[in-house]
């Protein structure tokens, strides 16, 4: 009997012509060894080893499958590996960027960085710090203030316009051709290159106040061109999912339409709207190009968005890298740039997390 069973198991139709599960690991081990051998032939490096091993593994596993299981299974396996490989490939730059920013940015975060500006920091001072090995002087206080001011004004312009437009699209303009036009152009607006938005604001203020007008508020106008479409889309989506029963119940009680919108519809959707606004702030806070052409660049603190040039974190990073304060020893500038990059990423991440948190916090209590 025992002999019979083992024969039957070997002949099972379901598992016939299938690779045993350990086959993949065997191919992988062979690929890693072969990869080590091949990469040491052309000059060994860990990256080269990994790449060659991966290629050998994919080819090897596909060939083994093709022989044992047939062409269709082999194609399936190849595509599966390509899909996984693409994901790993996409992760490499993400991890590399985050690692670089953390590794190089952390040493630069100091009291000086947060609470002093670049006012009076010259190349000679940077050279001195490098020679003496003392902590880097100068920081991004002025840029932090600039970023907050510019973003604040941009938000103040964008949110009312975006919110009201979305209200029009959902509540008043259903089915009108104006609505279709606005929806279409809002979509198109999301694709405006940020530098063009900056040029627009610069051109607008050049016409109004004479050429070369640069101040924080011009940058805010440029950023709101980028921000409005994001706010409109997010708000529109949220208003659309407010149940119609709520509106009808309100109308049935004799409440006017604008009271219904402000007291029933918007409060129901407020969590989604708030998180959409937060995401739009996260999108524009890191914009560099529009600020570069509208707000200029400053090394000292400027509290007013309505007069004088203003610095912001992204332009601060840009100039510290491209034109180091001391051309002969750029290290202090690079360190300040990475510290600012870390601060900027942390700000963006906090905004993104806050958006999710807000969305969850005020989520309307749906009926079960």
Partner 1 sequence: MSSNLLKTPKDRGRAGDKIFSGVSLGAGILILVILFSVAMFLVVQASPVFTADPETVTGGEGFAAYIFPIVVGTVIAAAIALLIATPVGILVALFISHYAPRRLARIFGYVVDLLAAIPSVIYGAWGYLVLAPQMSTIFTWLAENLGWIPIFAGPASQTGKTILTAGIVLAVMVIPIITSLSREIFLQTPNLHEEAALAMGATRWEMVRMAVLPFARPGIVSATMLGLGRALGETMAVALVLSPGLLSASLISSGNQTIAAEIALNFPEAFGLRLSELIAAGLVLFVITLIVNMIARLIISRSKEFSGAN
On whether the CB atoms of residues 283 and 162 are closer than 8 A, the answer is no
Q: State the Cα–Cα distance between residues 290 and 270, nearest whole angstrom.
A: 30
Angle between helices 331-361 and 313-322 (to 10 degrees): 160
Between 3 and 322, whose beta carbon lies closer to partner 1? 322
The answer to whether 319 touches 297, Cβ cutoff 8 Å, is yes
Give me the least distance between CB of 131 and partner 1, in Å please.
23
Alpha-carbon distance of 31 to 38, in angstroms, equals: 10
Quick one: 139 or 198, whose CB is closer to partner 1?
198
Q: Which one, 72 or 209, has the nearer CB to partner 1? A: 72
Nearer to partner 1, 33 or 249 (CB): 249
Residue 240: CB minimum distance to partner 1, A: 11
Assigned token pair, 355: 């958006």
Least distance CB 115 / partner 1 (angstroms): 23
Cβ proximity to partner 1: between 165 and 299 the closer is: 165
216 exposure class (CB count in 10 Å sphere: 0-12, 13-18, 19+): buried
Least distance CB 108 / partner 1 (angstroms): 13
Task: Find how far residue 301's CA is from the centre of its chain.
Answer: 28
Q: Which is nearer to partner 1, 85 or 123 (CB)?
A: 85
Instruction: Provide the 8-state DSSP code for 193.
Output: -
Is the Cβ of residue 29 or residue 327 nearer to partner 1 in the bound state?
327
For residue 54, the minimal CB distance to partner 1 (Å) is 14
Both tokens of 348, joined, read 């963006």
Cα separation, 356 vs 276, in Å, equals: 9
> Could you tell me which of 65, 202, 55 has the C-alpha nearest to residue 47?
55
End-to-end CA gap in the chain: 59
Cβ at position 76, least distance to partner 1 in Å: 4
Is the Cβ of residue 75 or residue 119 nearer to partner 1 in the bound state?
75
Least distance from partner 1 to the Cβ atom of residue 6, Å: 29
**For residue 173, which of 161, 164, 185, 186 has the smallest C-alpha distance?**
164
What are the backbone dihedrals phi and psi of residue 311, each rounded to the nearest 5 degrees, phi first?
-100, 160
C-beta of 24: minimal distance to partner 1 in Å? 16
């Amino acid at each position: 009997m025992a002999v019979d069973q083992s024969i039957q198991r070997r002949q099972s139709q379901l598992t016939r012509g299938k690779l045993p599960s350990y086959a993949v690991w065997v191919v992988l081990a062979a690929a890693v060894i072969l990869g080590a051998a091949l990469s040491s032939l052309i000059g060994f490096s860990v990256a080269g080893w990994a790449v060659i091993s991966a290629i050998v593994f994919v080819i090897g596993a596909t060939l083994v499958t093709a022989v044992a299981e047939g062409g269709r299974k082999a194609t399936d396996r190849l595509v599966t590996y390509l899909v996984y490989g693409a994901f790993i490939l996409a992760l490499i730059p993400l991890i590399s960027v985050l690692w670089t920013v953390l590794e190089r940015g952390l040493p630069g975060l100091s009291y000086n960085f947060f609470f002093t500006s670049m006012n009076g920091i010259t190349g000679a001072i940077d050279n001195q710090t490098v020679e003496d090995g003392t902590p880097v002087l100068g920081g991004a206080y002025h840029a932090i203030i600039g970023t907050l001011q510019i973003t604040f004004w941009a938000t103040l312009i964008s949110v009312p316009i975006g919110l009201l437009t979305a209200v029009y699209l959902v509540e008043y303009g259903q089915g009108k051709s104006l609505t279709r036009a606005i929806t279409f152009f809002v979509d198109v607006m999301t694709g405006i290159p940020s530098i063009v938005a900056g040029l627009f604001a610069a051109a607008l203020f050049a016409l109004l106040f004479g050429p070369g007008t640069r101040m924080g508020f011009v940058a805010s106008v440029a950023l709101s061109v980028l921000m409005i479409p994001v706010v409109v889309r997010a708000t529109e989506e949220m208003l659309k999912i407010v149940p119609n029963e709520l509106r009808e119940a309100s109308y049935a009680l004799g409440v006017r339409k604008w009271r219904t919108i402000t007291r029933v519809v918007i409060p129901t959707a407020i969590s989604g709207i708030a998180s959409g606004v937060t995401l739009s702030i996260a999108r524009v806070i890191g914009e560099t190009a529009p600020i570069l052409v509208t707000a200029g660049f400053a090394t000292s603190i400027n509290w007013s968005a309505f007069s004088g040039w203003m610095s912001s974190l992204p332009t601060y990073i840009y100039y510290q890298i491209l034109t180091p304060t001391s051309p002969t020893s750029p290290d202090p500038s690079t360190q300040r740039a990475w510290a600012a990059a870390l601060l900027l990423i942390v700000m963006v991440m906090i905004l993104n997390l806050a958006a999710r948190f807000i969305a969850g916090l005020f989520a309307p209590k749906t009926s079960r």
